[in-house]
Amino acid sequence: MRRTSFDGWPCSIARTVDILGDGWTLLVLREVFYGESRFDGFIGSLGIARNTLADRLRRLEDAGLLERRVYRTEPVRHEYLPTEKGRDFFGVLAAINAWGDRWLAGEEGVPVTMRHTACDHDTQPQVVCSSCGEPLRHADVAVRTGPGYPARLLERPDVQARFGVAPNR
């Protein structure tokens, strides 16, 4: 089955989904942040099929989120470590976790808590404005085209309506 690619779309969400658009990929990254780095460790913690895991690790490596390193030479064994790009994805997983804690945790409470070791307190991640520090809420955010938005699409009426762009005349 051929996979749909969103790589060329003028949208960072679509491009990210192109790399991370299935549950296994996100769970592999979760395990990396929990400290797992070895193929058999992922198998044990996730119960994922070997071929599926190999595909997700290859995809994450190709996308530059994980780096494969040899940790044993006889036989050759690799570990998978987050790159800077991969480490930067932690905030996304933390935000997904916070949403799940709020909306999906049962009466028994949240399944995993995050402790901010710098201040030694449990924490709930928040997405905040980089300028004023206020939480970002949908009602308080307007979207507009950025410098990387394809000029050829700006003439489309649906794009003009979505982003409030005046047609070029």
**Count of CB atoms within 10 A of residue 76's CB?**
8
Q: CA–CA separation, 140 vs 163, rounded Å?
A: 15
Nearest-angstrom CA–CA distance, 106 and 111: 9
Task: Give the Cβ contact number of residue 60 at 10 Å.
Answer: 25
- CA distance linking residue 121 with residue 138, whole number of Å: 28
| Beta partners for residue 20, in sequence order | none
pLDDT at 126 > cutoff 90: yes
Measured between alpha carbons, how far is 76 from 71 in angstroms, rounded to an integer?
A: 8
Number of neighbouring beta carbons within 10 Å of residue 97: 18
Q: Where are the domains of the chain?
A: 12-88, 108-163
pTM for this model (two decimals)? 0.85
Which carries the bigger pLDDT value, residue 13 or residue 72?
72
Query: What pLDDT sits at residue 150?
Result: 93
Q: What confidence tier does 6 reach under pLDDT thresholds 50, 70, 90?
A: confident
pLDDT by residue (tens digit) across 18-66? Answer: 888 789 999 999 999 999 999 999 999 999 999 999 999 999 999 999 9
The CATH number of the domain covering residues in 12-88: 1.10.10.10
Instruction: Give the pLDDT confidence score for residue 169 in this predicted structure.
Output: 45
User: What's the mean pLDDT in 119-128?
Assistant: 95
Per the document, the length of the chain is 169
**Which tokens sit at 43?**
């198998």
Distances (CA, A) of 9 to 6, 31, 32, 65: 5, 29, 28, 20
pLDDT digits (tens, 9 = 90+) for 139-162: 999 999 999 999 999 999 999 999
Joined together, the tokens standing for residue 161 give 């309506």
Backbone angles phi, psi at 2, to 5 degrees: -85, 135
Higher pLDDT, 9 or 168: 9
pLDDT, one tens digit per residue, over 80-120 is: 999 999 999 999 999 999 999 999 998 999 999 999 999 99
